[in-house]
Amino acid sequence: MKENISKALCLCFGYTLAELLVAGLNLIPASEVILNYKGKEDFYSCKHQMFYHLQKEDDYLGFINASNLDEKYTSFGLDFKYNTDKDGFRNKHDRTENQNISVVGDSFAYSFGVNLEDSFPQLMEDLLGVNISNFGVTGYAPWQYNKVMKMFPSQFKDTIILYCVYSNDFVPESASIAERYYKETGRVLFSSDSPSFWELVDVTAGRKSFFKKTFSYQLYRKLFLGGEITTISNERYLVRGENEIKDDWLSEQNQNQLFDVFGEAVDISREYHSKLVVVLFPSRARTYQKYYEAAFSDEESVPLEERAYQLAKQYFAQRGVESIDLADVLKREAVSSTPVYLNFDAHLNKRGNKTVAREISCYLVEHGYIDPTKTITNICTEESVKTTTSFVPGIIYLDKIDF
């Protein structure tokens, strides 16, 4: 009996020691790099280009886009021009005043993944016949949106401000010390022009917990969680956890911190005598909810996102600010065989940007923010007819929906 117990203890000790070595030496991430070296290298190069060529450190904002860019971006199936004006924002011309609408936000506001002419701010400008300035910057958070508004007061005064929010804006984050920003956000991991094998391993390991780098976790994930990526159709992909939202992000403490930042945006807009309108961009997981939940057996992430957006809408409503939630319209568009998101990337494609431009433009016209033009009136009338007559309780007449 004692001999059996001794053997069991030795086995447990040996297994524990092996797991410590596997996790401590990053052997699982190392094996992932070996099996997909080209893919890991391409991912690293993509991030390096973004963080160290298209963007640069900034004392006030942590980082900013480089000025006067017109650089081709080709990674992970993407092929578009990354453009900026003299201040590092995505505008056709360097505008200083006389804009009717100013857009501020992150990569969804920037319209990452499509060319300037296919971005929703540019499409809105064409639809509404007004001047629109785009201050979206890939990777920005709400505290940075507010600082941009403070940096360029003349371009945010007496105008309509579209304040764009995405699910990862709910992450617990405060304004970082500028010189530590790249380190704190993980950007420092991508500093090399020519990454070594171990640099690729470090990136693959990322901020995973010790347990998630063990063999036991890999076995558990394989047996009970399934894969990390699934295909819908037409080369459309979904990735586990891609909406990035977590339950602790909605804690009372974090809500208070986030609402302080949102409240500052409201205060800035009122100080500027501007009208703030919040635009909520859903994640791809939420748009393709039934596919996401079926593929990953994850019925928590999307409801968490919906709850977060509902809390945001309630807060802004209490402050007298209207919100445009794009979830429903993108879900309707996604019913068709033509995707609204990029194939590999989780940002909107041309069709998605066109859908968003139409939805926001109609909202602004119908709620009296912008005077209507004949073009937008016709478009909004058609949309109203589609959404009110295409659906009958219990029956969906797909043949009557103009996709």
Contact residues for 349 (Cβ-Cβ < 8 A; gap 6+): 113, 114, 339, 340, 341, 342, 343
How far from 377 is each of 160, 274, 297, CA to CA, in Å?
Answer: 19, 24, 43
Q: Fill in the DSSP letter of residue 188.
A: G
Contact 42, 75 (CB under 8 A): yes
Mean pLDDT, the chain, rounded, equals 85
Contact 169, 106 (CB under 8 A): yes
Residue 289 phi/psi, 5-degree rounding, is -55, -45
Contact 130, 162 (CB under 8 A): no
User: 67-171+208-400 domain in CATH 3.40.630.30?
Assistant: no
pLDDT digits over 346-375, tens only? Answer: 899 999 999 999 999 999 999 999 988 888
The pTM of this model reads 0.87
Contact 250, 316 (CB under 8 A): no
- Show the tokens assigned to 106: 């992150």
How far from 123 is each of 201, 233, 342, 356, CA to CA, in Å?
Answer: 41, 27, 18, 9
pLDDT digits over 99-142, tens only? Answer: 799 999 999 999 999 999 999 999 999 999 999 999 999 999 99
Q: Residue 123: what residue type?
A: L
pLDDT digits over 132-184, tens only? Answer: 999 999 999 999 999 999 999 999 999 999 999 999 999 876 555 555 777 77
pLDDT digits over 376-396, tens only? Answer: 888 888 766 565 443 333 333
